[in-house]
Amino acid sequence: METTVMQQLQFSPWIHSKSVSAKPKGSLHFPRRLAEQDILQAPFSFDLRVSRHSNHRRTVALKISCSYKNSSVLESGNHCASVDESLAIQRKSREIESYLNGRSIYLVGMMGSGKTTVGKVLSNALGYSFSDSDSLVEEDTGISVAEIFKVYGEDFFRERETEALRKLSLMRQFVISTGGGAVTRSINWKYMHKGISVWLDVPLEALVKRISAVGTNSRPLLHHDSTDAYSKTLVRLSTLLEERGEAYANAEVTVSCEKIAAKLGTKDVSNVTPMAIAIEALEQIEIFLKREDGYCAI
C-alpha cells in the first residue's frame, strides 16, 4: 500500500521579525519501523504558502509531503500559528527560562490529549529536546506498544514504561510526552517529579473525536473491531478517565482546554490549537515556578 506523510509546519516570525533570534525547527515523522533506506528513497515535495487573515494576522505554512510504499501509517498535521502566537510563545519561553533552570517538562494526560503534539511545540519554543516514553519503550524492546500488549501483556509494558521514565529522569532540558497510563504508578511520579509535570486536561468528547479520527490501531487499550468506533471509544475512555482522574490531578500544573476555550470566548474546545495550549502551559508553568520560588507580585 502506498501512504502519504504530510506535515504542515507554521514558520512565521523569522521571516518578518528581527526580534526573534531562535529559528523554529520542525520535523517530519515516519512510522516507527520504517527502514532508513526507505526514507532516503522517498520522494519529498515542499509547498510554502503565505496566508493573510482578518486583523492583520499572517501565517506562513511550509507543507512537506512524502510518499513511500509498504506502510499503513498516515501522519498528518495542520498546526497553524499566527504571528502573534509565535511571538507570544517565544517571549514566554524566554521569560521562564531562568525559573525553569533546565528542568524537564513531563506532559501527562489521557490518550489523545495532545501530549505529543503540544510537546513538540513546547520543545521547539524552549529549545528543549523532545521525547516520548512510548517511543523509548519501542526502541528498547524493538516492537510496537500494540505488539507488546498483545504478546507480553500490560504489566510487562508498565515495567518498561517505568524504566523509560527512569532513564528520562536523568536528563535535563527535555519535554517528555508520557503514556496516558504513566500516572497510575507511584514510582513513575518519583521520576516525573525530577522535572515539572503538566496535565493536559481535555474533555472526554474531544478525546473521543480525536481518537476516532486517527483510529485505535496504535492504542491497544482502546482497540476494538471496526463497528461503532465512536461509542466504543467513548465507553472505554470514560471508564479510564474515571479510574485515573485523581492520578492526573497529582501533576504540578494543570492546563485546562475548557478554560482556554472560555478565554477565547467559545465553549468549543476544538477551536483550541496546540499552539494556544502550549502558550497556556508556559503561563501556568510560570505561575507554578514563581510560587515555588517565593515570588510575590505587587
Ligand X SMILES: Nc1ncnc2c1ncn2[C@@H]1O[C@H](COP(=O)(O)OP(=O)(O)O)[C@@H](O)[C@H]1O
Ligand Y SMILES: O=C(O)C1=C[C@@H](OP(=O)(O)O)[C@@H](O)[C@H](O)C1
The window from 7-15, 157-165, 248-256, 267-275 that contacts ligand X (CB under 6 A) reads 267-275
Distance of closest approach, residue 118 Cβ to ligand X, in angstroms: 6
Q: Which of ligand X, ligand Y, none does residue 274 bind (CB under 5 to 8 Å by kind)?
A: ligand X
Distance of closest approach, residue 112 Cβ to ligand X, in angstroms: 4
- Rg of the chain's alpha carbons, rounded to an integer? 19
Instruction: Tell me the number of residues near ligand Y by CB under 6 A.
Output: 10
What is the rounded CA–CA span in Å between residue 135 and residue 108?
15
What is the rounded CA–CA span in Å between residue 270 and residue 88?
21
- Tell me if 112 contacts ligand X by CB under 6 A: yes
DSSP states along 90-125: HHHHHHHHHHHTT--EEEE-STTSSHHHHHHHHHHH
Closest to ligand X by CB, 84 vs 99, is 84
What is the rounded CA–CA span in Å between residue 160 and residue 181?
12
Distance of closest approach, residue 291 Cβ to ligand X, in angstroms: 26
- Tell me if 134 contacts ligand Y by CB under 6 A: yes
Q: Which of ligand X, ligand Y, none does residue 179 bind (CB under 5 to 8 Å by kind)?
A: ligand Y
Q: How many CB atoms lie within 10 A of CB 34?
A: 17
Tell which positions 214-243 bind ligand Y, by CB under 6 A: 219-221
Q: Which of ligand X, ligand Y, none does residue 203 bind (CB under 5 to 8 Å by kind)?
A: none
Closest to ligand X by CB, 133 vs 289, is 133
What's the Cα-to-Cα distance from 164 to each of 83, 167, 191, rounded to whole Å? 36, 5, 10
